[in-house]
Structure 1
Amino acid sequence: MHFTNSIPGSDPSDRGTVAPTLQVFSIKISEIKGGLRWPLSVYGVVAARDAVDHNRNLLFARDRSVYQTIKEDDPYLRLTGPSRAIVFGDPVDFEIQLKLRGSTAARDRALITSTERYSTGIGTICFENCFCTTELKLEAIERSVQATILSVCVKGGPWPSKYGGRVVCYAPSRSGEINGEVVLSDSCSGGMMPTGLSGHLRLSRNVVSVEMQGSLQVSLQAYSSSGGFSQRKVVSFKAKSCLISQASVTFGGAKVEITVAWSRLVSEKEDITTKGWVHGLGDSDKV
């Protein structure tokens, strides 16, 4: 959110840029080989490096104490990033380093370690070795800005389903096509919504790229007893280059308030460090 507080109409060259970015939707283990069996206890790192600062921009990061159980009927990693938009002016490097947790640390084993340079614009990157195939689904977005979902707050009543629900968002192209959705929060069917203080939902992800002339759609979805959705509500935000948008909607017996911060993108780290602006664009390589 380096340029969220910019003055509307200010000189774009002095307040960030509108540029191509990559939207990462999901990462899944699509196939296992070499005698492995489901479920898998997985930990490790998946990250992107772009030309802004070449630091790791983490998409998935867990150590062995908080491993994720990957099942055949739900093979997706629970993503927590990126922490800022992935700029796609130059090729982007994606790194994956996943391990399988054993009964002791000495019994842990490597699942996959690989790096792929992305420059094509196709919608899927595949990482493959003798143990598994992992697919990263993404989309290239032209002339985009960054939307940071600051909060989704449930007020005046409980979440409308005791079976939980999820919050997702997507940014349709100018043609109206939706290539994928970003999961912000998911209780998984049958679980309670992850709610913190004052009704704020705990969001696992909150950074989304949006086409400058487009919109961001935030979808609230309540699970039913069968695992489907009993209620849905969509809130639309028109893309901006700066400032904050806020909208409220009635969902069941509750009022849900959504707050989004908008910002132009940083093209190079040096552009802001020389002006004394905020440091720390990417995550540390010490992870």
Structure 2
Amino acid sequence: MELIESGLAGMEIIPIPTPTPTPMVGESSSTPETRPMTRSEREAQSAEILRHIEEMEEMEQRYLREHGIYPREQPTEEQEVENYRKYWEKCFGRRHGSYDAETSLGPMSGDLPESSLQFFSIKVTDLKYGLRWPLQVYGFVAARDSVDRRRNYLFRCTKDTCQTLTKNDPYLRLTGPSRAVLMIDPVAIEVQLKVKTETESEEDNVLALDCFQFHETYPLEDGIRARIPRRRCTLEFALEVLGMSVETIVGIRVIGGSWPDQCAGLIVCSTEKAKDERMVFLEKGNVAPASASSEGRMVLLDFPDGKLPTKSDGTVELSRRIVSVHWPAGKLVVSVEASREGFYARDTVDFGMKKSGASTCICDLIFCRMEVTVTWSLVSM
């Protein structure tokens, strides 16, 4: 608040004493030479300056109270979420129904490629206010675009099925979106995450509550990371805006062999060319890191316990299936990785751009053959 506007201009201002500058060596001065200040004198001077600053702040606060001027308090995270709910219900409730409703639209077939928002990962960092690893996290992260303004879940866990986050693996296990998130208008990203406590008598801690708008000019670190600082942690979104894109649905089915026991697996995809490594054997004791957090890669399935989830017909139950691909020159790369002590295997298949229809390739890990099917479609508004 400026002094003129607040009325503090009429108050007596107490000058803060400043030391007389000591001339540099070899520099002439018309003033008498002064001796250097001792440490105790410097400390006394600093204390005097701080005292004057505190007196000025006290005078300003007294003036504000006497004239009924109170600073506006920053809303809490809970208030921010509640304010967004009220805003949403006022603007979209009549047309789109309940605020808590999930988008009822699945993958969409349309007439044109469209701008979309691709989510690669969401990382929890910078724990504060007594939070310590590991964390038992539950709740959700959802995106709302202008197609139907309803929640398109990226992450969702109940209290009974919470995910354990550790310092070495602080990434939320994403299960969405259920359809492409279109970037026609700014996309609202809604976060409601809590930490399960060890005892039922204790109230669960809030990890992060937030509602913010993401737009095409949102500032990103390294072109891919959006850091959202909250009171108890920082959320780091790895994402990308695709100016023009098509939507794909990835499906995988085991057609030969079987997945070996106690062999961790990772199925990822990207829209960039990946190095083709059919089979790589490592020295005993060195296991290639099957990182689920590499930027620019989307994790479709991560099963470190070695148990490949499949249906009776061999269909692999992927955690994520929807991927947006650059139009018109983009390609989709799907990679299946297997690792255990002293052993690492990977096979990669590429899919060129199509407007519609399906593409099929075989991913061969020698011990297991998988049919990878990608269904292409233009998006609908």
* TM-score, L = length of structure 2: 0.62
Which whole-Å CA distance do the structure 2 matches of 1:129 and 1:169 have between them? 30
Of 144, 155, 172, 2:255 maps to: 155
Which residue number in structure 1 is paired with residue 160 of structure 2? 65
Question: CA distance change for structure 1 residues 55 and 165 in 2, over 3 Å: closer, same or farther?
Answer: same
Q: What is the deviation of 1:222? A: 0.9
Q: How many residues align?
A: 248
Letter in 1 for 2:162: Y
User: Structure 2 CA distance, aligned partners of 1:163 and 1:22?
Assistant: 33
C-alpha deviation, 1:201, in angstroms: 1.8
Question: What is aligned with 1:2?
Answer: 108
Per the alignment, residue 330 of structure 2 pairs with 214
Counterpart position of 1:49: 144
Query: Is 1:249 equivalent to 2:344 in the alignment?
Result: no
Q: Does 1:166 align with 2:252?
A: no
Equivalent-residue separation in structure 2 for 1:196 and 1:77 (angstroms): 25
Q: Please report how far the alpha carbon of residue 179 of structure 1 lies from its aligned counterpart in structure 2 after TM superposition.
A: 5.7
How do 1:1-287 residues align onto structure 2 when only pairs under 5 Å count? 1-3=107-109, 15-102=110-197, 103-104=199-200, 107-119=203-215, 120=217, 122=220, 123-149=224-250, 151-159=251-259, 162-172=262-272, 180-188=296-304, 190-212=305-327, 213-225=329-341, 230-267=344-381
Of stretches 86-95 and 67-76 in structure 1, the one that deviates more from structure 2 is 86-95
Once residues 17 and 58 of structure 1 are traced to their aligned partners in structure 2, the CA distance between those partners, rounded to angstroms, is: 24
Name the structure where helix makes up a greater proportion of residues: 2
Answer with 1 or 2: which has the greater Rg.
2
Tell me, yes or no, if the aligned pair for 2:152 and 2:177 is still in contact at 8 Å.
yes
Q: Aligned with 1:156: secondary structure?
A: strand
Query: After the TM superposition, which segments of 4 or more aligned residues of structure 1 sit over 3 Å from their partners?
Result: none
Structure 1 residues 85, 105: closer, same or farther in 2, change over 3 A? farther
Change (3 A) 1:179 1:141: farther
Give the strand-richer structure, 1 or 2.
Answer: 1
1:174-212 Cα deviation digits (max 9, x unpaired): xxxx96011011112x53222332322220001000012
Q: Aligned to 2:126, what secondary structure does the other structure show?
A: strand
SS across alignment from 1:203: coil
In structure 2, distance between residues paired with 1:152 and 1:167: 10
- Alpha-carbon separation, structure 2, partners of 1:198 and 1:105: 45
Cα distance in 2 for residues equivalent to 1:143 and 1:44: 32
Q: Give the letter aligned to residue 75 of structure 1.
A: P
**Unpaired runs of at least 5, structure 2:** 1-106, 274-293
Contact 2:310 2:317 in 1 (8 A): yes
Deviation, 1:105, is 7.3
Q: CA deviation at 1:260?
A: 1.3
Q: Kindly state the Cα deviation for residue 141 of structure 1 after the two structures are TM-superposed.
A: 1.1
Q: What is the distance in 2 between the residues matched to 1:114 and 1:182?
A: 24
User: How far 1:161 sits from its partner (Å)?
Assistant: 6.8
In structure 2, relative to structure 1, the CA distance for the partners of 1:155 and 1:134 (3 Å cut) is same
Alignment check: 8 A CA contact 2:325 2:331 kept: yes
CA contact under 8 A between 2:108 and 2:179: conserved in structure 1? no
Residue 93 of structure 1, CA deviation: 1.1
Letter aligned with residue 118 of structure 1: F
Give TM-score scaled by structure 1 length: 0.81
Q: Give the deviation of 1:236 after TM superposition.
A: 0.7
RMSD: 1.9
Q: Give the C-alpha shift of residue 249 in structure 1.
A: 3.1
SS in 1 for 2:188: strand
3-state secondary structure, aligned to 1:198: coil
Aligned residue type for 2:315 = H
